[in-house]
Chain A
Amino acid sequence: MFSLVSQITLTTLGVALLLALIRLVKGPTLPDRIVAMDLLGMIVVGLIVVLAGSTRVSATLDAAIVIALIGFLGTVAYATYVERGDPR
């Protein structure tokens, strides 16, 4: 179904997702986890964009817009939460 190039791209993005997930689980402090979560959202947006390109369904890009928006809002919300309380 997918061409070889999109398979390689999706696999590489999956490995990147896994590495960010390791940091999300391991992260010593809460800001580490926020950074990992932000990167996770970016990689998922990239994954959806490549998927939309390789399946030629351009309506999938709307989901990428929504995920980018929610990821940014979540990052800002967590950051204000950290700035008020103490990091754990």
Chain B
Amino acid sequence: MTDLLTAVVWLAGAAFALLAAVGVLRMPDVFTRMQASTKASTLGLGCLLVGTALELGDFAAFIRVACIGAFVLVTTPVAGLVIARASYFADVPLWKGTVLDERRDGKDAAADGGRVS
């Protein structure tokens, strides 16, 4: 039973990681790529961690897996935010089909060092 559950969760996690990689390869823009990468890889890594915790069934392994999971859950959104912010302020071109850029008006004022809040 545990083996079956581990197999299902591991295969789902690997599939999500593959989806994240396909998204990073195929998306047209830095921001959409960042979106695909952070969300899908967090879910995939969470699935893989649950599968490993089920497979090992050990208290020490459970604590380590919980540490990795908590760390990844905290740091991945921060990393995505930092990447998106840096690439937006570095004038990386947006995709041609982008329909909304709410900060475009304040961007000229932000160009000379000061940031518009």
Residues on A lying within 8 angstroms of B by beta carbon are: 5-6, 8-9, 12-13, 15-20, 22-23, 29-32, 34-36, 38-39, 42-43, 45-46, 49-50, 52-54, 56, 58, 61-62, 64-65, 68-69, 72, 75-76, 79-80, 82-83, 85-87
Asked if residues B17 and A35 are in contact (CB atoms below 8 Å), the reply is no
Q: Between A and B, how many residue pairs show CB distances below 8 Å?
A: 172
Give the number of chain B interface residues (Cβ < 8 Å): 51
Query: Interface majority SS on A: helix, strand, loop or mixed?
Result: helix
Asked if residues B61 and A61 are in contact (CB atoms below 8 Å), the reply is yes
Kindly identify which residue among B20, B51, B61, B79 contacts A58, using a CB–CB cutoff of 8 Å: B61
Asked if residues A50 and B45 are in contact (CB atoms below 8 Å), the reply is no
Asked if residues A53 and B15 are in contact (CB atoms below 8 Å), the reply is no
Taken together as a complex, chains A and B put the C-alpha atoms of A85 and B20 apart, in Å, by 28
Q: Which residues of chain A come closer than 8 Å to B24, judged between CB atoms?
A: 19-20, 23, 35-36, 39
Nearest CB of A to B5, in Å: 11
Q: Does B116 contact A (CB under 8 A)?
A: no
The residue of chain B having its C-beta at the shortest distance from the C-beta of A32 within the complex is B30
